[in-house]
Amino acid sequence: MALKLYNSKTRTKQDFAPIDPARVRMYVCGPTVYDFAHIGNARPVVVFDTLYRLLRLNYGADHVIYARNITDVDDKINARAREENVPIADITARTTDQFHADMAALNALPPDVEPRATGHIAQMIAMIESLIARGHAYAADGHVLFHVPSMPDYGRLSGRNVKEMLAGARVEVAPYKRDEMDFVLWKPSDDQTPGWNSPWGYGRPGWHIECSAMSLAHLGETFDIHGGGIDLIFPHHENELAQSACANGPGTFAKFWMHNGYLMVDGKKMSKSEGNFRTVRQLLDKAPGEALRLQILSTHYRQPFDWTDAGTREVKTVLDHWYRLVDGVTADAADIPATVRAALEDDLNTPLAIAEMHRLAHAAGQGAPDAARQLRAGGEFLLGLFGMTADQWLHWQPPGKALDEAAIQARIDARIAARKAKNFKEADRIRDELVAQGIQLEDGPTGTLWKVLS
RNA sequence: GGUGACGUGGCGGAAUGGUUACGCAGCGGAUUGCAAAUCCGUCUAUCCCGGUUCGAUUCCGGGCGUCACCUCCA
């Protein structure tokens, strides 16, 4: 079955055919590194990681190139460095490390290239020069601005009507702008703010130009997929598209635009003032990263997602079950279940894919060995699950908390002895004692196993 | 004010012009010394009002409601 993807540009589901099957190119907007990644940052990473895995399967791992940037020059970073009174590089290095660790915990593969904005200043300057030369940008008052009326198609990607937007605009217009909609490509820096020398003086790039410059540098003028959150469609992606298409020529840039839906927490927009702000780091204290991953995938990527703790508990229960079924089972690519794969190939229908996984789990639970292999293959090769053993999974503890497994085993042995002596009162007492510590015992045919209650 | 998305059973969540997914929870059973785990069985749904149709949850119109964007945001 052919891969179909919803293209935000055309607002339809289309058959995906790469420009060059030997080099399938995907660019996803990565984080601005100034603080811990929140669960809203994790959604596009997990969604596009799932797509990345599927593309690698379809075209070969060596024929897919996935670029996800790190934006390490931004006024939010500058503000944070000032607050903490540390060098900017400290903030960006620390936050980048945290981001990598958190995304790895979610079983997200690292991208093939991870360009940094500060490493591409020269490319940004070159692109700005090209925009000026082509009449799409102008220098004014130390700034360089993109002239929006120079691009007739502006607003098409995000479905905005420029005139209507201006009618409802609440922003003050800077005096140096020729048009209210014009946006900054380059802006001046003072001594306290990071900057680089440029034809327009000492300064730093505007928000959108880094993605245009980096996608060009690593993927070329035209590439296959551009992804990110729907909140970025305006102004970020609209402006990226404007810059790139005007600098490189009409018709260049991404063939497919993909946007994941918004993320809410407990039914509301996540924000610090609402008290429902969740970092990935905080959530990894409640459940293993794979559970968070499956939770993210349990809603179709284009739908709004409502994050709840109850949802986390539910996927944890599901994975407890699946892990038991695939324990000791090995699978190879031949076991990849066609049903799960077909669901993913239909615009990444992960909820349907998970439903097909449940069907396999049902069959595996009845003792079908091929179903167990397919379940494992579906998790391992498609959804990015089963990265640990069943024991590791069932014994999982939040980072920093270590269980004394030897002590638990000693209690289990004592209980086995009591049971052999038919002293059930003592056996039950030991079991209750362990339950009070969050340890659940399971008497099976091969002996007594235990798991951590969640 | 402008724009967009969404409204499916207790909860999560797909699909579909007609045959009422799937999971979690609940309930009943098997199993177990009792549990847990596992297996079997099982109840509950398509926001409201019109229209098109032999038939709509699905298409069209209206209404109500929720969320978001238009300013930093994944």
Final residue in a domain of this structure, among A263, A298, A318: A263
- How high is the pLDDT of residue A321? 95
Distances (CA, A) of A405 to A293, A369, A445: 27, 31, 21
Q: What is the pLDDT of residues A106-124, one digit of tens each?
A: 999 999 999 999 999 999 9
Same domain, residue pair A389 and A413: no
| Three-state secondary structure call for residue A59 | helix
Through-space separation of residue A41 CA and nucleotide B43 C1' in angstroms: 40
Alpha-carbon distance of A230 to A104, in angstroms, equals 23
Alpha-carbon distance of A107 to A202, in angstroms, equals 41
Through-space separation of residue A384 CA and nucleotide B20 C1' in angstroms: 33
Strand B contact at CB of residue A10, distance < 7 A? no
Asked whether residue A294 is domain-assigned, the answer is yes
| Three-state secondary structure call for residue A22 | coil
Through-space separation of residue A245 CA and nucleotide B3 C1' in angstroms: 24
Same domain, residue pair A189 and A331: no
Same domain, residue pair A59 and A202: yes
Judge contact between A23 and A268, C-beta under 8 A: no
Same domain, residue pair A390 and A413: no
- How high is the pLDDT of residue A230? 87
| Three-state secondary structure call for residue A444 | strand
Strand B contact at CB of residue A205, distance < 7 A? no
Asked whether residue A8 is domain-assigned, the answer is no
- How high is the pLDDT of residue A1? 56
Distances (CA, A) of A75 to A79, A170, A194, A238, A288: 6, 21, 10, 21, 33
- How high is the pLDDT of residue A318? 96
Same domain, residue pair A178 and A247: yes
Strand B contact at CB of residue A444, distance < 7 A? yes
Chain B: positions less than 7 Å from a protein CB are: 1-6, 11-15, 21-25, 32-40, 66-74
Q: Which residue is nearest to nucleotide B69 (CA to C1')?
A: A231
**Considering only CA atoms, which of A314, A225, A309, A253 is closest in space to residue A127?**
A253
Asked whether residue A14 is domain-assigned, the answer is no
Same domain, residue pair A249 and A291: no
Asked whether residue A4 is domain-assigned, the answer is no
Same domain, residue pair A109 and A250: yes
Alpha-carbon distance of A331 to A21, in angstroms, equals 27
Same domain, residue pair A48 and A71: yes
Q: Give how many domains chain A has, as a whole number.
A: 3
Same domain, residue pair A344 and A233: no
Extract the runs of DSSP E, i.e. beta strands, from A119-239.
137-140, 143-146, 183-188, 203-205, 225-229
Q: How large is the ipTM?
A: 0.90
| Three-state secondary structure call for residue A14 | strand
Alpha-carbon distance of A375 to A338, in angstroms, equals 11
Same domain, residue pair A142 and A89: yes
* Structural domain that includes position A377: 285-394
Same domain, residue pair A197 and A146: yes
CATH of the domain at A148: 3.40.50.620
Asked whether residue A11 is domain-assigned, the answer is no
Q: What is the pLDDT of residues A175-217, one digit of tens each?
A: 888 888 888 999 999 888 899 999 999 999 998 999 999 999 9
- How high is the pLDDT of residue A269? 80
Through-space separation of residue A400 CA and nucleotide B4 C1' in angstroms: 44
Alpha-carbon distance of A270 to A248, in angstroms, equals 37
Across chain A, mean pLDDT equals 91
Residues in chain A: 454
Asked whether residue A400 is domain-assigned, the answer is no
Q: What is the pLDDT of residues A115-166, one digit of tens each?
A: 999 999 999 999 999 999 999 999 988 899 999 889 888 888 887 776 666 6
Does the structure show a pLDDT above 60 at A170? no
Q: What is the pLDDT of residues A5-19, one digit of tens each?
A: 998 888 888 899 999
Same domain, residue pair A248 and A369: no
- How high is the pLDDT of residue A164? 62
Residue A171 pLDDT class (50, 70, 90 cuts): low
CA A366 to chain CA centroid, Å, is 35
